[in-house]
């Protein structure tokens, strides 16, 4: 059991963080409001989780202006994608170990 959980990433224990990464895995980038709508979160809640992923360097932030309105886009970094895939693998292993 212990060996299986080696790749179990603490950062992804939160379902919100896992959700953010899931979206960024299949979309080149997503803006704040899109993430908010998809995950059904409040501004503050989403911001704090993104901050955590940003500090881990799993997510890169791209701030720009559309006209006068600021628009912030997020995308998954190489490291973030690697960590997410490793986490998925460990989830799969966990399922396999339960069924066998």
Partner 1 sequence: MKQDKTSPLETLTEIRQLMERSSRFISLSGLSGVFAGLYALAGAYAAYRYLGLEGLGYYSGQRVVSSFRGADTLGFLMADAAIVLVLAIGTGIFLTTRKAKQDGNSIFDATAKKLIINLAIPLIAGGIFCIALNFHGAFIFVAPAMLIFYGLALVHASKYTRNDIRTLGFAEVLLGLIASFVVGYGLLFWVLGFGVLHIVYGTYMYFKYEK
Residues that bind partner 1 (CB under 8 A): 5, 8, 13, 15, 18-19, 22-23, 25-27, 30-31, 34, 37-39, 88, 91-92, 94-95, 98
Q: For residues 27 and 72, which CB has a smaller minimum distance to partner 1 in the complex?
A: 27
CB of 96 to partner 1, least distance (A): 10
Closest CA to 21 of 79, 92, 93: 79
Residue 27 sits at φ, ψ, to 5 deg, of -120, 135
Count of alpha carbons within 13 angstroms of residue 61, beta-carbon side:
14
- Nearer to partner 1 by Cβ, of 48 and 97: the residue is 97
Distance CA 33, CA 73 (A): 10
What is the closest distance, in whole angstroms, from the C-beta atom of residue 33 to partner 1 in the complex? 9
């Amino acid at each position: 059991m212990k060996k299986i959980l080696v790749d179990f990433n603490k950062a992804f224990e939160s379902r919100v963080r896992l959700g953010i990464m899931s979206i960024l895995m299949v979309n080149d980038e997503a803006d704040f409001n899109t993430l908010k709508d998809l995950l059904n979160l409040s501004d503050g809640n989403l911001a704090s989780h993104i901050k955590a992923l940003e500090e881990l360097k799993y997510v890169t932030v791209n701030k720009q202006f559309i006209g006068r309105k600021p628009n912030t886009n997020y995308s998954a970094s190489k490291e973030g994608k690697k960590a997410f895939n490793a986490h998925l693998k460990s989830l799969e292993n966990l399922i396999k170990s339960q069924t066998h």
